[in-house]
Structure 1
């Protein structure tokens, strides 16, 4: 039997050999895998306890750019009540979206990938590998039938889940071809099922802003297009070097891609404006993105001095003042300056509708949706009356219980706004920007500008 680290230390504090530590590491990893497998089982059983009242109240994923939705698991899996997801996510300390994925993966594995599910529960396949397969089969386009999913299950289970993402993509493409799930592509080679699925895409990950002020761009292009792009970037990077740039090749290629985007945008704007540009070359500014950056400022004499670092609202990442200065100095950049709003001032209006100035104050104060562990940016959220606005109070001569005022407003994403309105979740503001939530099962959470923490259930709730 392998001893725990505490037992080993108690036995002989200085007797921690390399063999002991390796054995302990292996034991801990096995325990971690077992716990992850058990968590999948718990998620599936949680789903069993919460069937939806109708298909319209079932949990689903919204599809960007579309009005439709995707189910959290594939054809043949039971539906799950959408609001039960938030309770499980909060208990686990993860977002509702992450909890939705966990439940979906558990159902997909149990109902459509049963061999892989059995391997996970027996410890032969780690949970993370199985979930990678489940994520792929759930969101395959076109959707996989039960028979198609079972065929993939047999192929993956045969190698005990040891399959990479590229192999998995090809396996799914082959399955789509084998089960005739998509209309045949006349340009595809009939001997190559992989070509029947067009993998071309360009994805700009706007949610993950690096501290250096960069975004990740990923693309799959037609071979000819990719070679053309590579040549254009190489030529531009070489031109920058010839003009005296001392930056690395990677940086110059990245700047070249931005130059291509701005040049094309400028040409488009110039064409639309019939040549009435504002620059020296007759072209208007190409970069017209509003960047919400927040810097601490102090007044020295009659001059306002900004700190060297600030926070980008998009991505909640640090940004350097020198970076922002550089963006503003670009001749093709249109700079938009937003008025400063004091977050400590109480703003209010007698109306139900929220004026832009109050909305902006709430967005800046809350930063994200204020539901526990939710990270959706506040600028894309609804502004909710914490205490419901009474539309009849003024007409009946009663004081307004839920005023449209800073102390009674909070940023909630659409999902958690609906959750608060239509379920037993409740919350209140105990200080400016500080919220306490209580779940239907009595779990309590505190959310402030630093994040979310659990409130000890033994502590009595604070009184407003």
Structure 2
């Protein structure tokens, strides 16, 4: 049934009746708009009431707020549940994701020499990978986020059904549920322990804010855990590591996950160093700045920079190869000094342009820092490129292995894995022939893309497919279920 839009004619006079003023035109229009939206199914009556701009009882507004919060929690739980169901479906029936089982063919022979059992295990693994990737690109999530949410839903369903039910009913938040799953996943495989933790966690989640709940739930976990702290600490030590997170304005955060005693000792050493430096005459840095500078000096030392220079292709003489962008060599083990890799347009380096420099693995950095690193550089690398297009010349069909110069060039033009959402550095990726070498594909930049080993395998062992638009050169991916996903734009 068609519903006409509410009329906009408010030219008729208004009247008062029984002492009640006739509504103003804007109020009448708002009511008409709301009624029209409800009739179309765009709003329900509750939504229409929320959009009413007239003064409301604060208690009523708070009730609506609680309803909306509960609806958000229910929606989050439903999302977790659906992710888990898709992945469980891929495990139960991998064919939509990886194609028919080749081992069912009586004439089948695996060219890699795998047994039937091994091939079937690989199919299940690749089906799950393909399903995770499809969810990730459709929801614009990281693949690890998809896996984590599925694992959290599975843990809550199995080990903490009371918390899961409260989450699905909208009575506890997503943050409560995530913290519960994180703690429950580390409990030993004992149902009595799970039940005790589940009951206590549900009671606390219904009464405490997420931050207070996290503290209380950790104490509860210690109380019900059957293993000693010493045993758990030895296992947790295996997860130690260091990682960097890019921040704004040329800054970054370096995080270290360490045993508590070593972390405390390191912090004490930094603090002592900073306080000593603060006593120097004329020192005006804060203690926080001094700790950060001491930390960087201790780790980075007087490191050197390897700088890549780039001349715009238009500056090259006709008929010759111009110098293009490049990457830098690895650190020399003998010297022990670390190297960083930056790419600087040559005109910027000469002060004739202000195009930004790029720090490998981070992105754009300020020109003062780039010029300083350039001045400290012990080596320069130039990649020869086509004088008009600025890209390396295509290599002939006699070359399958990607030459070093072309690999460096691709590391600049495609600094990360070509799969949507994957941020793994191109330095850690395989270079995959989009048009297979065995089928006549060439080894040149138009036919090569960096793919991390995970996505490289997925492209060849599942129904994920990649193609390049012949007119624009843009890369696109097709999911196992037929969705078309554009490749991500370059990160920098």
SS class of match (2:450):
strand
For residues 270-312 of structure 1, what are the alpha-carbon distances to aligned partners after superposition, in whole Å with 9 as ceiling and x for unaligned? xxxxxxxxxxxxxx97642223x33455379xx4535274333
Q: Tell me, in whole angstroms, the C-alpha distance in 2 between the residues paired with 1:119 and 1:326.
A: 57
The answer for the alignment partner of 1:134 in structure 2 is 181
| Structure 2 gap segments, 5+ residues each | 1-43, 95-119, 305-333
Query: Do structure 1's residue 50 and structure 2's residue 96 form an aligned pair?
Result: no
The answer for the alignment partner of 1:256 in structure 2 is 294
SS class of match (1:205):
strand
**Aligned ranges for residues 313-392 of structure 1 at < 5 Å?**
313-315=360-362, 317-327=363-373, 335-340=378-383, 344-349=390-395, 350=397, 351-390=399-438
The answer for the alignment partner of 2:465 in structure 1 is 426
- In the alignment, is the contact (CA less than 8 A) between 2:467 and 2:476 conserved in 1? yes
Query: Do structure 1's residue 436 and structure 2's residue 479 form an aligned pair?
Result: no
SS class of match (1:318):
strand
Residues 92/198 of structure 1: CA separation in 2 closer, same or farther (3 Å cut): closer
Question: Which piece of structure 1 moves more, 238-247 or 17-26?
Answer: 17-26
SS class of match (2:463):
coil
For residues 190-220 of structure 1, what are the alpha-carbon distances to aligned partners after superposition, in whole Å with 9 as ceiling and x for unaligned? xxxx878767986432254554333332455
SS class of match (1:242):
coil
Residue from 164, 167, 187 that aligns with 1:117: 164
Q: Tell me, in whole angstroms, the C-alpha distance in 2 between the residues paired with 1:263 and 1:327.
A: 14
Q: Tell me, in whole angstroms, the C-alpha distance in 1 between the residues paired with 2:401 and 2:71.
A: 53
The answer for the alignment partner of 1:212 in structure 2 is 250
Q: Tell me, in whole angstroms, the C-alpha distance in 1 between the residues paired with 2:213 and 2:360.
A: 35
C-alpha deviation, 1:29, in angstroms? 3.0
Q: Tell me, in whole angstroms, the C-alpha distance in 1 between the residues paired with 2:70 and 2:159.
A: 26
More strand by share: 1
- In the alignment, is the contact (CA less than 8 A) between 1:112 and 1:146 conserved in 2? no
SS class of match (1:442):
coil
Question: Which protein is bigger by CA-based radius of gyration?
Answer: 2
Query: Do structure 1's residue 159 and structure 2's residue 197 form an aligned pair?
Result: no
C-alpha deviation, 1:422, in angstroms? 0.7
More helix by share: 2
- In the alignment, is the contact (CA less than 8 A) between 1:109 and 1:134 conserved in 2? yes
Residues 312/200 of structure 1: CA separation in 2 closer, same or farther (3 Å cut): same
Query: Do structure 1's residue 34 and structure 2's residue 74 form an aligned pair?
Result: yes
**Aligned ranges for residues 171-320 of structure 1 at < 5 Å?**
171-176=220-225, 178=226, 180=227, 185=230, 203-220=241-258, 223=261, 226=264, 229-239=267-277, 242=280, 244-262=282-300, 287-291=337-341, 293-298=342-347, 303=350, 305=352, 307=354, 309-315=356-362, 317-320=363-366
Coordinate RMSD, CA, aligned: 3.9
The answer for the alignment partner of 2:12 in structure 1 is none
For residues 50-76 of structure 1, what are the alpha-carbon distances to aligned partners after superposition, in whole Å with 9 as ceiling and x for unaligned? 11675555559xxxxxxxxxxxxxxxx
SS class of match (1:384):
strand
- In the alignment, is the contact (CA less than 8 A) between 1:200 and 1:220 conserved in 2? no
Q: Tell me, in whole angstroms, the C-alpha distance in 1 between the residues paired with 2:449 and 2:235.
A: 44
C-alpha deviation, 1:417, in angstroms? 0.9
Question: Higher relative contact order at CA 8 Å, sep ≥6: structure 1 or structure 2?
Answer: 2
Residues 321/168 of structure 1: CA separation in 2 closer, same or farther (3 Å cut): farther
For residues 379-415 of structure 1, what are the alpha-carbon distances to aligned partners after superposition, in whole Å with 9 as ceiling and x for unaligned? 222111111111xx6xxxxxx2x11111111121211
- In the alignment, is the contact (CA less than 8 A) between 1:428 and 1:436 conserved in 2? yes
The answer for the alignment partner of 1:95 in structure 2 is 142
For residues 52-105 of structure 1, what are the alpha-carbon distances to aligned partners after superposition, in whole Å with 9 as ceiling and x for unaligned? 675555559xxxxxxxxxxxxxxxxxxx83322112222212122222222222
C-alpha deviation, 1:327, in angstroms? 4.9
Residues 341/109 of structure 1: CA separation in 2 closer, same or farther (3 Å cut): farther
